[in-house]
A and B are shown apart, each in its own frame.
Chain A
Amino acid sequence: MGIFNKLLTAVRGGATEVGEAIVDSQAIRILEQEIRDSKKALNDAKTGLTSIMAEKMGVDRKVKDLGEKIKEHEGYAIQAMDKGDENLALEIATKIAEFEHELSIQQGIRDGYDTKVVSLKKMIRQSERNIQAMDREVSVVKTTAKVQKANDLASAKFSGSNSSLNSATDSLERIKARQQKREDQAAAAMELHSDESGDDLQAKLKNAGIVDSGSSGSSILDRLKKQKGQS
């Protein structure tokens, strides 16, 4: 069974039960057993990998030794031929043939180990990911019971009643109202501030004689007279 299926089984199991019961649910127990099994399989795989790598190192040494022996005997064979000793040269060449045969066998074994190492490493990575996923699921489900209880308590507290009918939309409305109020307050404060600073500026302008402090009546009458004269 794939990891997603296992998770789904656990989640479905949890979904049918509520609160504390989730923690004890059969599905979670199964998942926890799976985690234990996977961890054991992971350990086995790691041990297997270690011994295979050790064996591979042994074979690597053999391959290296055989390669050196072949080179060494090729030198001997050439020396024998130089001395005109064909029989000895043939004997050495036969030995070289034996070494080469052994070398190809050992190389085959080494290739086999290489493949095994790669697949074991892949398996280990996969198992580690699976275990993490299952661990996560178990912890999520386990914390759910606690969190859910607190959630119920919290909503009861905010609605000011013990009613479990307290709805998400009610909560949303309350939040929106609070936000609106905050925004209104901020806007009002801003307005007040600008009013204040505006008044302040006007006063300063008057004091500086830039704006006519006596304004109004006479200045308006002057303006109207000018307008009349123009028409």
Chain B
Amino acid sequence: MSTEKLEQLMKGLTDNQTSHGVSLSVEMFDADNKVACIKLEDREEFPIYMTADEGQILCISYLFGDAQVDPDKRTAMVEAMLMMNVSIPLSAFSKIGDQYIMFGALSPKANIDELLHEIELLSDNVLEAIEAVSDYLKEAA
């Protein structure tokens, strides 16, 4: 994992966001400088976490935990996610621990415009995805 690369990307995002018409806050997230946290204006509930290494730039957003899924509908939801995966532009569903996530990965050679596009799209996809699977989730408490 390259801290330098990550810092460079963060600076690029901060400097170029206005030309893209988005407003986002970018900050280093962990003490080891391995994870950046990106928040899009008005969508602070679903921050995007970014890591970078020699292999890829990875952007992850957390959707919800297992606890929020209606146990009776879990299998159907997972199948729906699998089927949706192909159609979603640039992002895909996955699971880390007990958290359902959506992620997008880019080549480490990707430029800032491509990264900004990826982040915007991931954020849009996250909102769309939650809307799409909300029928499988437990009724809000």
Contact = CB atoms under 8 A, between A and B. Distances in A.
Contact of A143 (B35, B54, B130): B35
Contact of B53 (A135, A141, A170): A135
Contacts of B140: 165, 167, 169-170
Interface stretch (A38-46, A47-55, A146-154, A215-223): A146-154
Interface string A125-141: 00000001101100111
Interface stretch (B13-21, B39-47, B73-81, B84-92): B39-47
A178 B134 CA distance: 19
B96 A18 contact: no
A155 interface: yes
Nearest to B141: A165
Given A14-B97, A146-B35, A175-B42, A167 B53 contact: no
B62 A132 contact: no
A71 interface: no
B122 interface: no
B82 to A, nearest CB: 15
B137 A22 contact: no
Contact of B45 (A136, A150, A165, A171): A171
A99 to B, nearest CB: 50
B55 A143 contact: no
Contacts of B22: none
A168 interface: yes
Contacts of A151: 47, 62, 99
B55 A136 contact: yes
Contacts of B62: 147-148, 151
Nearest to A22: B97
Interface residues of B, number: 38
A18 B98 contact: yes
Given A147-B49, A147-B62, A167 B54 contact: no
Interface string A182-221: 1000000000000000000000000000000000000000
Nearest to B49: A147
Nearest to A131: B55
A140 B137 CA distance: 26
B43 A167 contact: no
A150 B141 contact: no
A1 interface: no
A90 interface: no
A151 B96 CA distance: 13
A174 interface: yes
B127 A172 contact: yes
B137 A167 contact: yes
Contacts of A150: 29, 37
A15 B137 contact: no
Contacts of A175: 42-43, 45-46, 127
Given A140-B58, A167-B140, A175-B127, A146 B29 contact: yes
A144 interface: yes
A50 B129 CA distance: 51
Instruction: Pick from B42, B56, B97 the residue with the most CB of A within 10 Å.
Output: B97
B5 interface: no
Given A140-B60, A146-B30, A151-B99, 14 more contacts: A22-B97, A132-B53, A135-B53, A143-B30, A148-B97, A154-B47, A158-B44, A163-B141, A165-B141, A167-B68, A167-B137, A167-B140, A168-B130, A172-B127
